[in-house]
Amino acid sequence: MQVVLLCGGQGTRIRDVAADLPKPMVPIGGRPILWHIMRGYARAGFTDFVLCLGYKSWVIKRYFLDYHLAGVDFSLRLGEPQQIELHGSVSESDWRVTLVETGADSMTGCRLKRVEKYLTAERFMLTYGDGVTDLDVRQLLEFHLAHGRLGTVTAVRPPSRFGEIELDGPRVVEFMEKPLAAPGCISGGFFVFERAFLRRLNDDPGLVLEHQPLVRLADDGELMAYRHDGFWHAMDSSRDYNHLNDLWATGTAPWNTWESSRLRRAA
């Protein structure tokens, strides 16, 4: 099964962190957040990726073109730079990455429609290039297969940014200083769709996936929600950037399921 990643947005709210990078390339622990997302899918066995590119697409293309060179030692003759001898291989050598130009200003629905010709199976996964989670995507897929509808969206509780208070009239019943998650659910992305969903999309650059397509899918009873109560966090601001990098630096990043599973096996 293929995994589609929406990587074309400009990320205007995080320009203060990396004005020269497309948002999916903003680093956590020295690697783009895009790599972290892909690594999570790969840990579950999904290694065929389709990237919907837009803003500064060449930065993402260059990253993957140079990926094997950045990860291993190599030798070359300066007079024959194209003849490169690699010493070793990268752990992601089985990944297949298709990079597709979907328009500099296209919206998410149009970007998905424009990669349709590269999707080969009856269903596919989809997510954004700016959010990390400890979601078990195999359980997500099992949930999707069990209900038989066209689409599944992962429902998450957003991290709370403010202290919360519970009131009884003007009296404060309970004060909670920045609880881990705010009440209520939002879409965390991490979708599964049947291929038939693509017939509901068109090649209009202004088509926003989260507006008409998903609203109508829900109205038709064809969209189900998979509840994820674990970790989920999007990188929307410099505050998010600092928080996610702090978690990585201290070895407490919940989305690092591939490293934690390796350590469990070693123990």
Asked if the model's pLDDT at residue 248 lies above 60, the reply is yes
The full 3-state SS of 200-246, as one line of letters, equals: HCCCCCCCCCCCHHHHHHHHCCCEEEEEECCCEEECCCHHHHHHHHH
Give residue 192's identity as a one-letter amino acid code: V
Q: List the end-to-end C-alpha distance of the chain, in Å, as a whole number.
A: 31
Asked if the model's pLDDT at residue 218 lies above 70, the reply is yes
3-state class of 186 per DSSP?
Answer: strand
Higher pLDDT, 89 or 25: 25
Mind listing the pLDDT tens digit for each residue in 16-61? Answer: 777 788 999 999 999 999 999 999 999 999 999 999 999 999 999 9
Q: What is the pTM of this model?
A: 0.88
Mind listing the pLDDT tens digit for each residue in 200-214? Answer: 999 999 999 999 999
- CA dist., res. 249 & res. 4, Å (int): 28
Over residues 244-263, mean pLDDT: 86
Instruction: State the pLDDT at residue 175.
Output: 45
Share of the chain above pLDDT 70, in %: 87
Q: How confident is the model at residue 71 (pLDDT cuts 50, 70, 90)?
A: confident
Q: What burial class does residue 182 get, using C-beta atoms within 10 Å of its C-beta: 0-12 exposed, 13-18 middle, 19+ buried?
A: middle
The Cα angle at residue 106 between residues 101 and 112, in degrees rounded to 5 = 65
| CATH fit for domain 2-74+84-266, picks 3.90.550.10, 3.40.50.2300, 3.40.50.970, 3.40.50.1820 | 3.90.550.10
Instruction: State the pLDDT at residue 266.
Output: 42
Asked if the model's pLDDT at residue 67 lies above 60, the reply is yes
In terms of Cα–Cα distance, which of 228, 202, 221, 218 is closest to 127? Answer: 228
Instruction: State the pLDDT at residue 9.
Output: 82
DSSP for residue 183 = S
Which residues have CB under 8 Å from 201's CB, separation 6+? Answer: 109, 110, 112, 113, 116, 207, 209, 213
148: left (phi over 0), alpha (psi -120 to 50) or beta: left
In terms of Cα–Cα distance, which of 140, 101, 133, 125 is closest to 37? Answer: 133
Contact indicator for 29, 250 with CB cutoff of 8 Å? no
Residues paired with 228 in a beta bridge: 156
- CA dist., res. 195 & res. 197, Å (int): 5
| Runs of H (alpha helix) within the chain | 33-43, 57-65, 67-71, 108-114, 137-147, 212-219, 238-249, 257-266
Instruction: State the pLDDT at residue 150.
Output: 95
Contact indicator for 23, 9 with CB cutoff of 8 Å? yes
Asked if the model's pLDDT at residue 262 lies above 70, the reply is no
Instruction: State the pLDDT at residue 104.
Output: 92
Instruction: State the pLDDT at residue 177.
Output: 55
Contact indicator for 223, 183 with CB cutoff of 8 Å? no
Share of the chain above pLDDT 90, in %: 67
In terms of Cα–Cα distance, which of 250, 242, 210, 247 is closest to 14? Answer: 242
Percent helix / strand / coil, the chain, rounded to 5: 35, 30, 40
Contact indicator for 98, 4 with CB cutoff of 8 Å? no
Instruction: State the pLDDT at residue 159.
Output: 72
Range from 81-85, 97-101, 102-106, 246-250 carrying the lowest mean pLDDT: 81-85
